[in-house]
């Protein structure tokens, strides 16, 4: 069995004597900087790299009294879940919560896989300082825990402006609209196109969950979105181009191992990068390089389409309390290098929120009810969590 952890904190005791997260045990990924810890992001390209300073979210965990347990194993740069143990520390009770980098839905799928809850907070809510990912415009600090309550406490402690990440929202999120007293006043929107091509078992689990919710009085509305397929396409093009451009930071020249025998700088760079990156990341970077260098117009188009999709998704969400989307609760077991297509396969329904920056909450499967995702309006994170709590009671069979 592969061990869950890459690094265990020898001194996990909280740094402060109290705080809203006092005693909450939090596991991190080596894609999130902790000063003095090995922060190789799961890549040979960064082998031996030790972060010089804490990510802002880590600083805030410490200030809130959380106990940092250590680092879990991650996929290369947190991209996809092959080789990742995200969620396992929570599932096995070794931690109360985990921070999981989310670029195409990794935190949400890992949460469903672990039978836990996962929140990908709105873009611009949590500082990105100290993250070592591949897709800057999509990477967010996912929160993973056994309950929506813990997620709420984490969100409250970690969110908010950071003078070191100027991409954050300056104003506090708008006051949420009051939540219906119980499930009977809740309306969920379902995009029928999201069910096309879904594995039969997953589609069945999703329908069962909706049926259970409907029985409890939740109104379910169909909200067609003919452009739904474009989310995956935009994600692949924009995401891979960003990765191809910004992965220069992870060049295996300052860290990692430089293969011997290069005759000059150019050769040294090429061979170091070639040797360092895994198959999946390499395919992703090559795809990005293709669009960047050979099809730049297509990339620009994808950026324009993204803006349109953001508006379309926000419009859909405004008509309901949240969108409900399917969510797989397992990923192929193969832990070794997987090809790009296979790595991305489980993330068909999670990319919508990755592209739009909306908050998305993963709810675990319960009995016949499959796992599902709730997508809320941007910055409506608190209300989304409260909604999740209400609906969780229903899915678990309560009232």
Partner 1 sequence: MDFEAVIGLEIHVELNCATKLFCDCPNRPGDEPNANTCPTCLWLPGAAPCLSQAALEKAALLCLGLGSELQPLSAFDQKVYYYPDLPKGYQLSQAHLPLSRGGGITITNERGEARALRIHHIHMEEDVAKLVHELEGRQPISLVDFNRAGAPLVEIVTEPDFRTPHEAMEFLKALRTQVRYVGASECSMENGTMRVDANISVRPRGSSQMNTKVEVKNMNSVRHVGDAIAFEIARQSAAVQAGEAVVLHTRLWDPDKKATLPMRAKFEGPCVPDPSVPAIALTPAWIETLRARLPEMPAAKAERLVKEHGVSAEDAAFLSADTDVAAYFEALTAHGVSAKMALHWIATQVLPAVRERGQELSASPVTPARLAGLLTLLARDEINANAAREVLVALFQSEASAETIVSARGFRQISDTGALDALIDQVLAAQPAALADVRNGVGKATGFLIGQVMQASQGKANPKRIKELLAKRL
List residues binding partner 1 (CB under 8 A).
33, 39, 41, 46, 49, 51-53, 55, 127-132, 136-137, 163-167, 241-242, 244-251, 253-254, 265-266, 269, 292-293, 296, 299, 303
Closest CA to 137 of 282, 299, 279: 299
Q: Is 79:337 a contact under the CB 8 Å cutoff?
A: no
Residues 6+ apart with CB under 8 A from 384: 119, 322, 359, 361, 374, 376
CA distance 74 to 283: 18
Closest CA to 380 of 125, 198, 144, 199: 125
Residue 42 Rama label (left phi>0; alpha psi -120 to 50; beta): left
Smallest gap, in angstroms, from Cβ of residue 135 to partner 1?
8
Closer of 201 and 270 to partner 1 (Cβ)? 270
Closer of 55 and 188 to partner 1 (Cβ)? 55
Smallest gap, in angstroms, from Cβ of residue 351 to partner 1?
17
Smallest gap, in angstroms, from Cβ of residue 261 to partner 1?
17
Smallest gap, in angstroms, from Cβ of residue 44 to partner 1?
14
32 strand-pairing partners: 131
Closer of 179 and 233 to partner 1 (Cβ)? 233
Smallest gap, in angstroms, from Cβ of residue 298 to partner 1?
12
Smallest gap, in angstroms, from Cβ of residue 168 to partner 1?
9
Closer of 16 and 52 to partner 1 (Cβ)? 52
Closer of 33 and 72 to partner 1 (Cβ)? 33
Closer of 52 and 286 to partner 1 (Cβ)? 52
Q: Are strands 25-28 and 5-8 parallel, antiparallel or unpaired?
A: unpaired
CA distance 299 to 303: 6
């Amino acid at each position: 069995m592969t061990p869950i952890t890459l690094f265990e904190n020898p001194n996990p005791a909280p740094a402060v004597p109290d705080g809203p997260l006092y005693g909450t045990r939090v596991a991190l990924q080596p894609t999130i900087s902790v000063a003095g810890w090995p922060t190789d992001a799961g890549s040979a390209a960064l082998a031996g790299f030790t972060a010089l300073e804490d990510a802002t979210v880590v600083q805030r965990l410490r200030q809130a009294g959380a106990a940092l347990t250590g680092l879990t194993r991650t996929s290369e740069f947190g991209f996809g879940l092959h080789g990742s143990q995200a969620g396992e520390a929570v599932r096995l009770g070794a931690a109360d919560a985990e921070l999981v980098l989310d670029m195409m839905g990794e935190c949400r799928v890992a949460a469903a896989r672990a039978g836990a809850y996962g929140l990908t907070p709105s873009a611009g809510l949590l500082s990105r300082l100290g993250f070592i990912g591949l897709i800057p415009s999509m990477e967010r600090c996912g929160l993973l825990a056994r309950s929506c309550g813990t997620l709420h406490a984490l969100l409250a402690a970690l969110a908010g402006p950071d003078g070191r990440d100027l991409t954050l929202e300056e104003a506090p999120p708008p006051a949420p609209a009051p939540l219906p007293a119980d499930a009977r006043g809740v309306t969920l929107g379902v995009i029928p196109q999201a069910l096309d091509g879904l594995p039969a078992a997953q589609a069945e689990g999703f329908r069962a969950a909706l049926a259970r919710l409907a029985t409890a009085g939740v109104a379910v509305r169909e909200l067609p979105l003919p452009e739904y397929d474009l989310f995956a396409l935009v994600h692949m093009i924009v995401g891979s181009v960003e990765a191809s451009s910004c992965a220069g930071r992870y060049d295996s020249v300052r860290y990692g191992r430089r293969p011997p025998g290069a005759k000059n700088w150019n050769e040294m760079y090429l061979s170091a990068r070639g040797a360092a990156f895994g198959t999946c990341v390499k395919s992703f970077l090559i795809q990005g390089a293709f669009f960047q260098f050979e099809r730049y117009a297509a990339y620009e188009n994808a950026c324009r389409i993204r803006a349109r999709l953001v508006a379309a998704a926000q419009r859909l969400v405004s008509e309901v309390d949240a969108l409900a989307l399917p969510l797989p609760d397992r990923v192929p077991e193969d832990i070794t290098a997987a090809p790009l297509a296979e790595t991305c396969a489980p993330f068909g329904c999670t990319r919508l929120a990755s592209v739009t920056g909306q908050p998305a909450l993963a709810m675990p499967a319960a009995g016949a009810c499959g796992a599902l995702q709730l997508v809320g309006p941007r910055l409506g994170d608190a209300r989304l969590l409260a909604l999740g709590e209400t609906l969780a009671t229903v899915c678990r069979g309560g009232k």
